[in-house]
């Protein structure tokens, strides 16, 4: 029940386990539902506004390993000016504190605007993550749709827990987390705008959707997934419906209208208006936006050798492989898209604005468990209405938009380099045995790998959850610290003793863990600085000099953009780099192995996903060897 059982973010379900939903339960009344959820939410603390002085000091500390001494001096002067009693800092700080009193969360709305809705790069690769599941045991169309039927049933099973509020509350460091994001991932969709996008969520409407969208061979269908008595369709019933969809769309050709959603957002915003100016198109787009989620039944992806399978599957989930692949078999604005290939490749892509990875992963873990346990699917007898094809009238203008989108999507697909590795030598077990935080250990291996490749440190981002606070999203853990810099510089230095290197490693790992604690308790610097800047905009003041400082731009140029996304299923999540000359690194530490997905852009000559992945593997192994061979580390 709500608030009793639990699951830890990054950990297994608590002893009482994941609450199994009761099948075909009668929905509880809306008021009771609201009561239980709200009671939990109201018990959560509000995100604090950190003290101004503390953020200024910590900002300088964070810059130390990244900028030259004269630049640092300049920034110190700007900060002195900013924070003095008569300066802008105090005024903005007061404004922020006032905002914090008047809102549930002073940050989240701003964050969603800045990080997502006003960010104009395509959501594909630049914002929406992919998730790759282990390869499933089928290799033909029949197997594909049998599995798809079970998957849909599994999602509806999870949805029952959302609707009935029987979802177990998650915990981080023993503290209960905000559960709001679970209510944002189904029945929602991003809508492109001319300068800024928006998100609609139909789950909370008085008439919530009862259908999903299925896309097959670039053609969209509306599939009703509830019987008239309110019970979800069974996997058997769903199989029959999916068969109808596939046979209606296998032989017919259609314009890949979904490719429009891969465009630059301003471009898509304009094309969107042209598209929905037609009544039929508007209705079809509306049906996609309102649907509970999208299921993409993909054509086979190119055959690859076993060792590159996961990297190719990651591409399939991240962007679909271009127009000759499956990029047109998507609606990338949809919050949640499940992707199932004919060859057993399975996973998902999700639009990031409404939620972080962990709620999506919890849903997918549940679905995988469900598909494993459920019976073999058999075609059901009773007849159901044929799923509705969503029609599109493609005018010459829209055709041109589609052609342009194909060109830019292909360019983006060509540009993305992706390497997935399974580091099989150890997982969380080894760092734990040495009494070190596994996450910090992995982050220090990344620092070492990067330093070995470039002989310098770079600004590094790691996502930290702010869900201990009501409506919390994320803050930044800055993995590059003075301690990490000392560690990586010493590691390959033959003049240094092993014991000194171990000592530096321990200090670097501890510094990372302590930054993590500070970040998850709302005391990191990045969102506070963003808040101060946004407050200046809100008050129509000129942007303070600290935000125009080259050091600030350097601090935000994350050449390593990283995130830990753990799961119970042995899967790997992936995303693109956030700067043209950077890397995206997503990792899933399991007990005895670690899955990594490393991305970079081919257009940047200095970066190479495969080389960084190899360097991370070497760094992890070398760090363990050092610990194993240095007696004092075994304390």
The answer to whether residue 214 forms part of the interface with ligand HC5 (CB under 6 A) is no
Report the distance separating Cα 50 and Cα 535, nearest Å. 15
Beta-ladder partners of 388: 222
Binding-site residue total for ligand HC5 (CB under 6 A)? 15
The answer to whether residue 565 forms part of the interface with ligand COA (CB under 6 A) is yes
Nearer to ligand HC5, 131 or 504 (CB): 131
Report the distance separating Cα 330 and Cα 328, nearest Å. 5
H helices of 291-395, in order, are: 309-318, 357-373
Asked whether 127 and 121 are in contact (CB, 8 A), the reply is: yes
Residues 367-406 touching ligand HC5, rule: CB under 6 A, are none
Residues 169-208 touching ligand COA, rule: CB under 6 A, are 172
Report the distance separating Cα 101 and Cα 99, nearest Å. 5
Asked whether 411 and 601 are in contact (CB, 8 A), the reply is: no
Nearer to ligand HC5, 210 or 334 (CB): 334
Q: Nearest-CA neighbor of 180 among 1, 356, 4?
A: 356
Judged by CB under 6 A, the stretch of 2-10, 33-41, 51-59, 236-244 that binds ligand COA is 2-10
CB within 8 Å of 80: residues ≥ 6 apart? none
Angle between helices 141-164 and 235-249 (to 10 degrees): 130
CB within 8 Å of 413: residues ≥ 6 apart? 315, 319, 320, 321, 322, 325, 327
Report the distance separating Cα 13 and Cα 5, nearest Å. 8
Write each residue from 547 to 576 as x if it is in contact with ligand HC5 (CB under 6 A), else as -, in one continuous string: --------------x-x-x-------x-x-
Asked whether 234 and 375 are in contact (CB, 8 A), the reply is: no
CB within 8 Å of 90: residues ≥ 6 apart? 52, 83, 84
Report the distance separating Cα 403 and Cα 394, nearest Å. 12
Asked whether 522 and 475 are in contact (CB, 8 A), the reply is: yes
**The entry of ligand COA, ligand HC5, none that residue 428 binds, CB within 5 to 8 Å by partner kind:** ligand COA
The answer to whether residue 357 forms part of the interface with ligand HC5 (CB under 6 A) is yes
Task: For residue 485, give both structure tokens.
Answer: 């810099």
Residues 421-480 touching ligand HC5, rule: CB under 6 A, are 461, 463, 474
Query: What DSSP assignment string belongs to 54-77?
Result: HHHHHHHHHHTTTS-HHHHHHHHH
DSSP three-state, residue 121:
coil
User: Which residue's beta carbon is nearest to the bound ligand HC5?
Assistant: 357
Binding-site residue total for ligand COA (CB under 6 A)? 26
Write each residue from 105 to 144 as x if it is in contact with ligand COA (CB under 6 A), else as -, in one continuous string: ----------------------------------------
The answer to whether residue 10 forms part of the interface with ligand COA (CB under 6 A) is yes
Among 177, 292, 346, 360, binds ligand HC5 (CB under 6 A): 360
Nearer to ligand COA, 218 or 434 (CB): 434
Least distance to ligand HC5 from the beta carbon of 382, Å? 37
Tell the burial category of 497 from Cβ atoms under 10 Å away from its Cβ (0-12, 13-18, 19+). exposed
Q: What is the DSSP letter of 201?
A: E
The answer to whether residue 463 forms part of the interface with ligand COA (CB under 6 A) is yes
The answer to whether residue 520 forms part of the interface with ligand HC5 (CB under 6 A) is no
Among 187, 261, 327, 465, binds ligand COA (CB under 6 A): 465
The answer to whether residue 129 forms part of the interface with ligand HC5 (CB under 6 A) is yes
Active-site pick, 126, 211, 352, 528: 352
Least distance to ligand HC5 from the beta carbon of 350, Å? 7
211 is catalytic: no
Asked whether 232 and 152 are in contact (CB, 8 A), the reply is: no
Residues 218-277 touching ligand HC5, rule: CB under 6 A, are none
Report the distance separating Cα 292 and Cα 302, nearest Å. 30
**The entry of ligand HC5, ligand COA, none that residue 516 binds, CB within 5 to 8 Å by partner kind:** ligand COA
Tell the burial category of 119 from Cβ atoms under 10 Å away from its Cβ (0-12, 13-18, 19+). middle
Least distance to ligand HC5 from the beta carbon of 476, Å? 7
Element (H, E) at 625: helix 609-629
Task: For residue 405, give both structure tokens.
Answer: 């989108």
The answer to whether residue 128 forms part of the interface with ligand HC5 (CB under 6 A) is no
**The entry of ligand HC5, ligand COA, none that residue 439 binds, CB within 5 to 8 Å by partner kind:** ligand COA
Among 132, 466, 578, 627, binds ligand HC5 (CB under 6 A): 578
Among 11, 230, 550, 631, binds ligand COA (CB under 6 A): 11
Nearer to ligand COA, 395 or 569 (CB): 569
**The entry of ligand HC5, ligand COA, none that residue 465 binds, CB within 5 to 8 Å by partner kind:** ligand COA
Write each residue from 419 to 458 as x if it is in contact with ligand COA (CB under 6 A), else as -, in one continuous string: ---------x---x--xxxxx-------------------
H helices of 416-525, in order, are: 429-433, 438-454, 482-491, 498-520
**The entry of ligand COA, ligand HC5, none that residue 10 binds, CB within 5 to 8 Å by partner kind:** ligand COA
**The entry of ligand COA, ligand HC5, none that residue 56 binds, CB within 5 to 8 Å by partner kind:** none
Write each residue from 333 to 372 as x if it is in contact with ligand COA (CB under 6 A), else as -, in one continuous string: -----------------------xxx--------------
H helices of 68-201, in order, are: 69-83, 88-102, 108-112, 123-126, 141-164
Nearer to ligand COA, 8 or 630 (CB): 8
Strands 294-297 and 416-423: unpaired
- Residues recognised as catalytic: 352
Residues in touch with ligand COA (CB under 6 A): 8-11, 172, 356-358, 428, 432, 435-439, 463-465, 474, 477, 513, 516, 520, 563-565
Residues in touch with ligand HC5 (CB under 6 A): 129, 131, 356-357, 360, 461, 463, 474, 561, 563, 565, 573, 575, 578, 586
């Amino acid at each position: 029940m709500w608030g009793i059982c639990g699951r830890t973010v990054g950990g297994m379900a608590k002893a009482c386990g994941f609450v199994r939903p009761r099948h075909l339960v009668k929905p509880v009344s809306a008021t009771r539902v609201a009561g239980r959820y709200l009671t939990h939410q109201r018990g959560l603390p509000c995100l604090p506004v950190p003290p101004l002085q503390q953020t200024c000091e910590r900002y300088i500390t964070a810059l130390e390993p990244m900028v030259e001494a004269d630049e640092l001096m300049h920034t110190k002067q700007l900060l002195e000016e900013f924070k003095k009693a008569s300066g802008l800092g105090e005024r903005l700080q007061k404004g922020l504190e006032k905002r914090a009193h008047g809102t549930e969360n002073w940050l989240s709305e701003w964050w969603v605007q800045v990080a997502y809705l006003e960010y104009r790069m395509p959501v594909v690769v630049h914002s929406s993550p992919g998730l790759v599941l282990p390869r499933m045991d089928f290799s033909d169309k029949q197997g594909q749709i049998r599995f798809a039927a079970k998957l849909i049933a599994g999602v509806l099973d999870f949805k029952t827990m959302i609707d009935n509020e029987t979802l177990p509350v998650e915990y981080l460091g023993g503290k209960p987390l905000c559960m709001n994001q679970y209510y944002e991932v189904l029945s929602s969709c991003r809508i492109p705008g001319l300068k800024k996008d928006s998100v609609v969520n139909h789950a909370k409407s008085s008439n919530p959707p009862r259908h999903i969208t299925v896309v097959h061979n670039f053609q969209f269908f509306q599939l009703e997934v509830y019987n008239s008595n309110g019970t979800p369709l069974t996997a058997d019933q769903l199989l029959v419906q999916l068969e109808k969809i596939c046979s209606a769309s296998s032989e017919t050709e259609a314009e890949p209208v979904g490719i429009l959603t891969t465009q630059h957002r301003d471009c898509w915003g304009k094309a969107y208006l042209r598209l929905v100016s037609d009544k039929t198109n508007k209705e079809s787009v509306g049906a996609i936006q309102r649907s509970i989620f999208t299921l993409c039944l993909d054509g086979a992806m190119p055959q690859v050798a076993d060792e590159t399978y996961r990297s190719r599957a990651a591409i399939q989930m991240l962007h679909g492989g271009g127009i000759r692949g499956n990029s047109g078999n998507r609606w990338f604005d949809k919050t949640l898209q499940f992707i199932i290939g004919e060859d057993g490749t399975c996973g998902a892509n999700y639009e990031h604005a409404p939620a972080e990875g962990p709620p999506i992963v919890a849903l997918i873990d549940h679905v995988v468990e469900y598909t494993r346990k459920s019976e073999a699917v058999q075609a059901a007898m009773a007849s159901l209405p044929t799923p509705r094809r969503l029609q599109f009238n493609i005018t010459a203008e829209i055709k041109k938009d589609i052609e342009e989108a194909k060109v830019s999507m292909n360019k983006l697909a060509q540009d993305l380099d992706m390497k997935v590795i399974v580091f099989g030598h150890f997982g969380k077990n080894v760092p734990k045995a040495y009494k070190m935080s596994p996450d910090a250990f992995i982050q220090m291996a990344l620092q070492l790998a990067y330093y070995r490749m470039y002989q310098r440190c770079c600004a590094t981002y790691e996502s930290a959850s702010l869900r201990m606070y009501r409506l919390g999203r994320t803050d930044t853990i800055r993995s590059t610290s003075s301690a990490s810099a000392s560690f990586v510089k010493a590691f390959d230095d033959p003049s240094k003793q092993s014991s000194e290197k171990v000592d530096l490693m321990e200090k670097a790992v501890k510094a990372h863990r302590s930054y993590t604690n500070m970040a998850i308790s709302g005391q990191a610097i990045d969102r506070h600085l963003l808040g101060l800047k946004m407050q200046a905009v809100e008050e129509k003041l000129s942007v303070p000099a600290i935000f125009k400082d080259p050091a600030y731009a350097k601090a935000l140029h994350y050449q390593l953009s990283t995130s830990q996304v753990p799961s119970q299923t042995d899967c790997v999540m992936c995303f693109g780099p956030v700067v043209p000359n950077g890397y995206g690194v997503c990792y899933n530490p399991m007990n005895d192995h670690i899955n990594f997905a490393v991305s970079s852009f081919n257009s940047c000559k200095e970066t190479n996903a495969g080389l960084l992945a190899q360097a991370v593997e070497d760094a992890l192994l070398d760090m363990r060897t050092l610990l194993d061979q240095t007696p004092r580390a075994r304390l």
